[in-house]
């Protein structure tokens, strides 16, 4: 389980799944995406950012 992920769900289309993450510092996104990319079966990721 990836600690910063607070929700995830399957989707259809270009991607298979979406993972919603929350980090305190924008720079922490790199660490989370690296952790996700190291999960067996994950071939690639795409990151979209919403700053609130």
Four-way CATH pick for 1-52: 3.50.50.60, 3.30.70.920, 3.30.420.40, 2.60.40.10: 3.30.70.920
Instruction: Say what the pTM is.
Output: 0.82
Mean pLDDT of 9-32: 95
Three-state DSSP at 14 gives: coil
pLDDT of residue 31: 94
pLDDT band at 52; cut points 50, 70, 90:
confident
Give the model confidence (pLDDT) of 24-51 as tens digits.
Answer: 999 999 999 999 999 999 999 999 999 8
pLDDT at 1 over 90: no
Per the CB < 8 A criterion, the answer to whether 40 and 32 are in contact is no
Rounded CA-CA distance 37/46 in Å is: 10
């Amino acid at each position: 389980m990836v600690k910063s992920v607070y929700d995830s769900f399957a989707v259809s289309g270009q991607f298979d799944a979406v993972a919603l993450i929350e980090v305190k510092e924008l720079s922490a996104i790199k660490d989370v995406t690296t952790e996700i990319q190291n999960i067996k079966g994950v071939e690639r990721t795409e990151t979209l950012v919403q700053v609130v």
